[in-house]
Structure 1
Amino acid sequence: MNSTQRMTTDAKNASDASARQPAGVDGGLEDLGQKMLGNIQDALALSRKLERVLESVHQKMLERNITALEHSLETQIQLLNMLQMNGALREHYLKPLGLSPDQQGMSHFFSLVNQQPANASTVNRQALNKYWVQLEGSANRCQQINSANGRLLARLSASTRKIIALTFSGQTAATYDQNGLTVNSMAE
């Protein structure tokens, strides 16, 4: 079962479970903890894939490989959509507890899980926290790479505008040899 199928199945199961069992019941929190662990692991896998795609986009922009860039951008959009679905599912899981899927809501969720007696809990609290911290780190790296891609895109756009302006202005552009000396190829 892939991440998307699991998210859809989990959303239905969470809806069924919340109708049967009120939030805050130990069994409900146990089940929720297991679902959240799977959700966070899925989000981490998607986020790491997104990191690689964003790095690939950067390289393809540098190479000006438009065809490959378009393919990478399509993949990027698919991953972002999957991450959005994953986040919506996490929000769905937390809603019965009155929690939001942001940092504050997640902190409160972790404190609820940690308040459960250790011998009564099957949720691997350390794994839950570890994967969440890794997900936050991956999300931060994605933001950094995306910002770098935005800066690169702005430079490439400015360069393209200058080339177009020179092309239509009638001015001859200076060309340079391998030593950086000005060469006027038109005069030769």
Structure 2
Amino acid sequence: MDVLTHLFLPLTVAYAVRREYFESPWWFALAGFGLLSDFDKFLGVPGLLHSAVALLPVSLALVGTDKSLTGELGASRLAVAFAWSHLVLDVIDGGPVPVLFPLVESGVGLTYPARVVFGADPFGIAVRGPMVALRTTAPRAGFNAYGFLNGFGIASALTFAAVYLGTESASRENDSGSRENGVELQRNDKDGRKNDLDSRGDGGDR
């Protein structure tokens, strides 16, 4: 799966579910943890960081550091979610993801062999093959060539942009409406006090 997908698909989900975490722009940088697992490619050991055996201590270190420095777990919780999302997306994309490397070198991934055949069977259409299949194989050892961008990554980036801009626009409109309502309430309050004073003055004249 390409770089943009690993960055923007988890970021879109996190932003939609926990928007309050992103009041500071620095929190968007945590999406970079979604690329952490791919650093094993620079080492020439594919699978080293695509493993729960490696990510678990990294996650615990992030949580411990965050807790000791801030007393909270907001940033580390988000960073850990981004890091683990890489494995989930790679499994969905076919893998192989060696989740127990180096204890078990074989990895897993999902494939989708089903094909729609037109002009077949009495109804003119048929689905051949299973919808989902499990693939098990070991990653290719050593340094390899990998795809960098694809259409789904571009779509993921555009989806995040649409969600972010739409949400921010709606938030600004709500803030503007709240300010206008506040001004209107203040105006009504002043008018009410003025009318009250006028009515008291009229009563005194009588």
Shorter-chain TM range is 0.3 to 0.5
Comparing both structures, which one devotes a greater share of its residues to strand? 2
Comparing both structures, which one devotes a greater share of its residues to helix? 1
Q: Which gives a bigger RCO, structure 1 or 2 (Cα 8 Å, sep 6+)?
A: 1
The two structures have a TM-score, normalised by structure 2, of 0.32
* Higher alpha-carbon Rg: 2
